[in-house]
Structure formats: structure tokens, C-alpha cells
Amino acid sequence: MRQTWRWLRLCGLILLAAVSWPQLSHSANPPAAGLAAPQGAADCNIFWTEVLHDTFDSDYRSTVGPTTPSTTVKLRLRVAQSDITTARVRVWNDRTDSETYAAMTWDGAFDTDPVTYDWWFADIAVGSQPTILYYFFELNDNGFGGCSPADQDFYTDDDPKFYGGGRGAMSDAYNDQKSFQITVYDPAFDVPAWMQQGVVYQIFPDRFRDGDASNDPAAGRFFYGANSAIVRSNSADWNATMCDPRNVASPTCNKRYSDNFYGGDLAGITQKINDGYFDNLGVSVLYLNPIFQSPSNHKYDTADYLQIDPDFGDLADFQALAAAANSHGIKLILDGVFNHTSSDSPYFDYYALYAASGACESAGSPYAGWYYIPDIGTPACEPDRTGDPNVCDAADRVTCRPPGYGGANTYDAWYGYGSLPKLQANSAPVRSLIWNNGLNSVGPYWTNQGARGWRFDVGGDVDCGLTCAPANDYWEGFRSAVRAVNSQTVTLGEEWGDASAWLLGNEWDSVMNYRFRSAMLNWLFTGCSGNGCSGGTTFEDNDSNAGSSSGAISVITPSQFNARLRSIQEDYPPPAFNAMMNLPGSHDTNRVRFLLKKSNNDSDTAAVQRMKEWWLFAFTYPGAPTLYYGDEIGLSHDGVFAGTKYEDDPYNRAPFPWPDASGSAYSYDANAQAADLAGFSRQMASIRWSYPALQDGDVQHGLIIEDANKLYGFARTNGSQTALMALNRDNLAHPASFSGLNAAPYSLPNGTVLVDALSGVTTTVSGGAVSVTVASNWGVVLLETAKVQTPVAAPALAAVRAGASVTLTWSTVMTDTTGARELATVYDIHRSATPGFTPGPATLQGSVKPSDVSFRFGASGGQFTFNQTAPSGATYYYQVCARNAAGVSGVCPEVAASDVPLASFQATVLLQGRPAPPDPTWSVPLTVTLTLSGQGAPAYSFAPTTDASGAFTLTGIVPGTYDLRVKHSHTLQNRQTVTLAAGANPPTAVGALREGDANNDNYVTLLDFSILVTTFGKCTGTPGYDARADFNGDTCVTLLDFSLLATNFGQAGQNKAAAAPALKPPARTVNLTLH
């Protein structure tokens, strides 16, 4: 009967059922396991439990995630068989604020289950421009007119705030706030790779490091109407316990939020860059909270956008910072506070402290149109502005009052704070100041000075996004202006909720990913008690609570964790999603260690473990893992419970506890646990930098989802590499299996060896799968062993020996052999009495790690040191092998350490075809090696440059008999034996270096002749001149050079076993013009 019904419906007929259909009611429960899904009927009663649409499944949505303009997205809806008569999709275009309905049609071609379900579809044309589309489904069952009343229900998103996308829910009435989302973005949208690949470190400058005591703020200076400033919580020490501004019993600190200064500055940041502190954390991006002139310690109340705040230094200090960052491969992101200024600024001048009239002083001020100040005519009088309540003079006449003051002249200010009057973003002069006047504007000016990114404070209050206000092109203009100065500039907004409206291609490139932070806090929650906790299952503070964008903190399952991650991915275009600033906390939140302690039953031990689990995930997930200054050493200060909730400000801004700063490092527990935390953050950064797929590869979510065992697995792929990650949030170890690995996008052949970069344990792909055991509250990071990048040799290796004491020094390894960024986490030291030895377990003398206490804070200036006692009277050879966290090391440079008196000698070479010495053309670079008799590898390699007589000097050589080999880039090598005694040896005549080896292969052959013919007759500055064939060094290639080549043709350098192949120049005619 159902097959007949289906056929009639295909014919477009309306047929009233002549049979008795089962009566189905709305049900919140799915069918029992093992039973077939019930069938519906056109009976004016839609069977809710069988309705399904899943945005994460391509069966239901042809384009999973964002799409681009001028495309069509096929939406499918599954219902119980024959259960509805019509359906349609309601679509809202958020850019045009327009509503359309698309009728749905039965999808006969897709409906492969003729008994249980029907599938309906609609093709949605997304339009020709970037936008956001919101949609839900309307379902109707009128029994084909055979029943009354008709049933109309709606299928909408179930929880767009945290679980937007995926599956939805049925309801009797729709709520358009619960719509599914299709993000339509500009196909030309690009984000610089450095943000997608990077590791970000956020610095609150006043609290990071004091590098220049001469610019330290003074206590008692003017601060918004009072001489109230204090310094270092009224202590002389940097590492002083931060006083509590909420403590009314402390009159010197009560309400001292923004006027408690510590003296951190740009010089302190530059110092730590040059010390190698950030290099050895794997940090490639520094995000600085505001640094422009401002009255407060946080600088979010700008007084002058074009001046560095004197507390932090001056323009020269910024230029030094930018230069240091650039030399270490670090990008700078500056904080742009363009929504408001300080009321104590020349623009506003609430306190009448500046020579020119500010907007608050006069309606005739050039700045009057910059703010939202009502026109009230005659200025009011505010006598207390002069400090004399009995006098009202011109300085007391104000055209504005702060919010809350009352009266008609109240100006708009951010969040009602009178010190932060709001700028008019659409004002032409404001735009000219910020970005629309070339290098005279703030954005382009500081970008030209070295900034490579901009973070926008409360950026949504300036311009609410493309779909909110399409005509407001503020952020489009800013992005275009700074990219005109440097095309690799990143724009990044502060947005706590869904930032889709700004990420469509021409406004922001990224955001501070508080949605990611919210998901992670919930994922790592185990329980709570005491203040801020409800029922042991939910924790709240001033940022994470039921009324905030982040929501309260409570436990979630792997399924829910997966849904929250995919919700973010579905909303954000890939260029932005891959460049998210994935932060655990910031200057606006409680410290992550404190929150993880509160959400793990007040256990600080658990909190430190959860921080490691956070980094394990963040450093292997798309986006830029971010450290808020001090996270890497466990810096924490508990939030303060103030009446109804825990507050974060200013406790989250404790000074970084440098060991060389005065006072006691109250906020850093210098124990093994915190040291281990520092080492682990470094380990994860090294793993990320050693494997490109972890930096910018695609993500495949939910490869493992086991709610019962609290297991979650995902992958990263980039077409040439695959990484597999599994996380275990249970207190027991569990096996985890990845399958389907032979197929794309993983493409791992059977036999592929994978290494867990955390433990070093290997496993092999078999049958397209791998299985591992994941320890409790831990994870695995499986990488293709053969594809982990190789660190370069440790640079600047040197040895100093004084008696039996040997000291080795070398510099930080910062790149791999491809030239990309790298981070070595271990330097293994090997020793042998034989030069050129092969390092192994028997030669290992010890290891040095950047996380060692002596190096942890950058105190060594980026230089590593290893000390050892060696037997006297002998020469030892040391090798330093740099190893990344995945266990891969590359070339190990070697250096000799001897307490035997060393030899030196001077040698002289003759250069064939040159004028009689001395002559400037005799000053040439050489390659010189000394090899002990019977040894294959050179004991010494030098690169001296001769003087005008062909002389050069070699020093620091252990006495002995050596094979001396000398070569210039286009001469044949000269070889002879020298015996060197301790001290200065008699001069050695090396002899002539024969010319003609243009390609530097130590033969003179047709290959060299070809080079000479190609450049013959040309001189320096002439197109086609090739200095390799200018054998006599006279800056031209002439018959003289041809003669030298012909003389030595077929010859080889003396290190070759035989002469060059007996090749002769071919017979040819050469037309020469002699000058």
C-alpha cells in the first residue's frame, strides 16, 4: 500500500487514504534500540522524533561549513515516511535584512529507504555577495485535506549559542534566533600564513618587565582629577604582593585599579627578545596591550595615538623593539583602542589641562564633532574642576558631563565610564586620524614603524560588521590602509561571541577566540565546591556565567566537545578559522590556572595537569595557540570573590616574577611542578614547529568519540603529512583506534611508522588502522616518523679549556634544514678522543634543556653553556646535537678542546695569472682544511681571506702532522703535508693555485669552458658577466682568462685520485675583439 501511495504522489495526485493509518503522537524519545523506526502518516500529526537535519553531514547539507557567493547549497530534511504533505525553508539574509521561503520537494533520487523515511530537499542560492544566511524548516501535515486542524511544526537549531549547527530540534512555534547558519565569504579572503602558523604570547607591558628604571612612573602623579597614583602596590619591590583595590580596609590601595603602576616598559620586552626568552618558548608573535600615551596602567584610555607612553619609553624604544623582534622572526601585534579615548586627552580635555580647547571645553573645538556630545548652547559650570568650589571661571565652563551625572549635556562613553568618551566612528576627521590619511594616520604610521598586526579593542562597538551595517566601511578601510603599507598585516578583533559578521573577507582576519576558550574550560571541568559553585556541577565567575557569551563552566562529553568545536568551524571561513587566536585567558579574564583550580575541586595539582592538557590540544589544533604572559611558568593570582562572584581585575595582571627582580616572587611557585609546566609548553611548541601539518593543515574532527570512556580523537592533514591526536579525560587508561587511514585525506600506506611525539613510542599502520593506549588525563600526538623536520646544527659552537675544565657555548637553534622555524628542546653533548666521530650512547656526556632553571628566564642571553672536567694532557672533540621534541636531531657540529699548547702558522699562496705581489687581486677568500694523517674527516676547517701578498694565518691547532688542502672558488685545490709544533710555526709556502675551475668542482673541463664562452668579452656591470670565469681578477673575461683555462684543461685538484677526464675543447671559431 505504501509503495502505491509513493507512486501516486510521484504522479502529483492527491489521494485520500482508504485505509486506517496508525495514530502517532509527538514524542521526545527516539525508538527503542533494535526496533525499526515508526512510520508516520498524513494525519495532521507530525512524528517529531524522526525529523532530522544535520549541518555537519553532507547528506543533509551539500556544503558543510562556509561557502562563497554565487553557489547553491542543497538542504535535505528527513521525516518519517509519508508523514508530511509540504515543507519549506525559511531563509533570512542578514546583509539585506530580507526573508524568503523556498519550497521543499521530495528527493526521490536520494530516498533509498522506501519504507522508513522520506527525504525532502531545497536548493538555496546564496546570492552574489558575502553575507550570512540563517534558515530553519517549516513542516506541514494537513492530511492532504483529510484532517483538521492541520499540524504545522518547525525544525530549528537547538542551541546556537554554544552548539550552533549539527542537529536541531522540533517545536510548535519557531524562534528565528534558533536558526541554522550558512556563512558566505569573499573567495579572495586571505590571511597571512604567519598568523595561521604562529605561537602568540600576550604581554601586559606595565607588568612584564622593567628594562629602564629612568622612565618608571612616579607616585602621587595626577590621575583623573586626583594626585592618586601609587607604585608597585606601595612597595619598592617589583615582586611585591599586589594590593587589593576591593579591600576597603586598605586606604592606600582601596579603589586603586588603574593607577597602580609597576614600571614595565618596552625596553624590558626588547631585553627578553634579545635574551632568547621567546625563541626558547617557540613564540613567533607578540601581542602587546596598548602602548600609546595614556593616563592609566592598562592604556585603554588613549591620550595620544601617535606617541609611545612615556612610562614605556619613546619612539626609539619602539623602533629598537621592532628591530629586535624582526631579527628573531617575531611579529608584533599592537592594540588599537579606536572606540573611545581618554577624557584626559588633548582631543577631549575634560580637565582643561591642554593648551588647545578639547571637545569637552568648547563647542568650537576642532574635536567637538569627534564625540557624542549634545549641543546645549551655553556651557555649564563645574566649579570643582579648578580645585576651588567657590570659583567659577572660564576653565570651569564645560560643554559636557560624564554619564550618570545627569542633565542634557551628558556625553556617550564606553560602558558608562566617564573617563572613556566614545568616538564617532563615521566622523571624517576621526577616520583621518585612525586610518584614512596615509602615513599620517595611526594604523599606517605604526605599521610602517614595524607593527605587523592590529587587535581591535571592543571592535564591534566601532563597526558592527558587514551584515549588521553594510554601509559602514570602517574596518574595511582600516584593513586596506594598513595592508597598503605591508600586505602581510593582520587585523584581529575582540569579540566574545560569534564573530562571523566581521570575518567575511574584508574587515577582520581573526578574533580572540573566546568561544574556543569556553569549550576548553568546559572540557577540562571535573567538579567544584565553595564560592562560585552551584551543586558541585557548575562554576561561574564575572566572565563565565549563565548571562555571558562564554556561559557557565560545567562538564561536557566528548560528543558535546566535538559539537562545540565544529560549531566554530562551521561559522568561520577557513582562512579565519585557521588563524584564530586560541587563548586560555587574557587581561580581561581570570588566570587560567586559577579557573582550572576552581573547576577541578580546588586542586592546584589538577590545575597544572589541566594546563598541560590544554596545551596538548591547543598546540595541535587549527589556529594560533596563545600564552598570556606568565602562563608558561604557572603565574597565577587567585581572583577575589566580591559579593556574588569572582572578579578578575586586577588580579590577572600580576607582575611577571623575574628571579633577578627585587622582592619575593609571590605569584610563582618555583617547584618541580611549575618547572615541568614550563618545559611542557616548550615541548608542545617544538612539536608544532617540527610538523607543518600541525601549523596550517586541515582538521578532521571526531575520528574518535567515546563518551563512556571520555575519549576524543581528531586529525590534521596538509596533503603530504598526517597527524593523529587522541585525548583521554578519564581517570583510567583506555585503548584508542584510528581507522580508514589508507584513504584520503590521511593517505597513510600500511607499514607507515608513527611516533607519539609525547612519549617516543612508535606504532605502525596496519590494515589502514593504528591502535594505541592513551594514559589517563593525557593524550597522544602521532606523527609520521619520516616526515618530522630536522633542526639545523647548533650555531656558534665554541670550546674553552682551562686546565681540566672545559666550557662549551653555543646559540639557540631557531630553524630547521628547510629554513622554517624550529625549536630544539634538548641539546645532547658528546665527547671523543677521535675527531669526526659518530655520536652515540657511549659518547654521551649529558644534555642541556632550555627549561633548565639557569636558562628558563632568559638569563643567559640566548647562549647555552655546558661545563665538564676532562683528563689533562689530551685533546677531546665535542659534538652538540640539537634535538626537537619529536626526537629528531640533525648535523652535530664538532669542536676541539685541548690543554696541549696549540699551534699557529702563516701560509702564502700564489695565484696563477695575477700581477706580482703585493696586488689587490691577491686578497681572496679561501677554503682551508687540516686533516690528521689517516683520518677521513677534517679536524679543522677555516675560511680565511688572504692579504695582498697571498698570506693568511691559522691558529688554535693541536700540534701534529696534517694534510693541508687550500682552494679558491675558481682554482684547483693545492694539497701538501705540514707538521706543526706548539706555538708559532715557520711560514709555509703553499704554492700556486691553478686557475680555470669556474664551476668549483675541482676539475677543469668542458663545463668550465662553457661558462667562460658564455661570458666571454663581458666586464663587471655588463649584463651576462660571470665572475667565475674572471680567473685573473681583472674584472673582465678575456683571452687572458681563456689562456689560463687552456693551460690547466683536463687537470684535477690534488685531492682527486685521478686527473679530469681527457676532454678537449671542441673545434670552433671564436670572434674576439681586442681592446
How far is it, in rounded angstroms, from Cα 966 to Cα 899? 27
How far is it, in rounded angstroms, from Cα 508 to Cα 476? 8
The 8-class DSSP code of residue 852 comes to S
Q: Residues 726-782: pLDDT tens digits? A: 999 999 999 999 999 999 999 999 999 999 999 999 999 999 999 999 999 999 999
- Predicted pLDDT of residue 1062: 41
- Predicted pLDDT of residue 1021: 80
CATH number of 903-993, picked from 2.60.40.420, 1.10.10.10, 2.60.40.10, 3.20.20.70:
2.60.40.10
Which residues have a Cβ under 8 Å from the Cβ of 1071 and sit 6 or more positions away? none
How far is it, in rounded angstroms, from Cα 281 to Cα 283? 5
Which residues have a Cβ under 8 Å from the Cβ of 381 and sit 6 or more positions away? 392, 396, 397, 398
Hey, what CATH topology would domain 798-891 get? Immunoglobulin-like (2.60.40)
- Predicted pLDDT of residue 362: 85
- Predicted pLDDT of residue 377: 56
Whether residue 930 contacts residue 962, with contact meaning beta carbons closer than 8 Å, is answered with yes
Q: Which long-range contacts (CB under 8 A, 24 or more apart) does 379-384 make?
A: 380/407, 380/409
Q: Residues 1024-1049: pLDDT tens digits? A: 899 899 998 888 999 999 999 999 99
- Predicted pLDDT of residue 998: 92
**Could you tell me the strand order of the sheet in which 894-898 lies?**
844-848, 824-832, 875-884, 894-898
817-820-823 Cα angle (round to 5): 85
How far is it, in rounded angstroms, from Cα 1058 to Cα 593? 69
DSSP string, 326-364: HHTT-EEEEEE--SB--SSSTTT-TT--SSS--TTT-TT
How far is it, in rounded angstroms, from Cα 428 to Cα 61? 44
Could you tell me where in the chain the CATH 2.60.40.1180 domains are found? 695-787
How far is it, in rounded angstroms, from Cα 970 to Cα 981? 32
Whether residue 715 contacts residue 724, with contact meaning beta carbons closer than 8 Å, is answered with yes
Could you tell me where in the chain the CATH 2.60.40.10 domains are found? 37-184, 903-993
Report residue 336: phi and psi, to 5°. -100, 115
Whether residue 488 contacts residue 450, with contact meaning beta carbons closer than 8 Å, is answered with no
Strand pairing category for 260-261 and 230-231: parallel
Hey, what CATH topology would domain 695-787 get? Immunoglobulin-like (2.60.40)
Spans of the chain below 70 pLDDT: 1-42, 114, 375-398, 405-409, 665-674, 851-861, 1055-1075
pTM: 0.83
Q: What is the CATH number of domain 1003-1075?
A: 1.10.1330.10
- Predicted pLDDT of residue 849: 87
- The residues facing 581 across adjacent strands are 512, 624
How far is it, in rounded angstroms, from Cα 332 to Cα 973? 48
- Predicted pLDDT of residue 136: 98
How far is it, in rounded angstroms, from Cα 821 to Cα 414? 41
Query: Into which CATH architecture does domain 37-184 fall?
Result: Sandwich (2.60)
How far is it, in rounded angstroms, from Cα 926 to Cα 348? 67
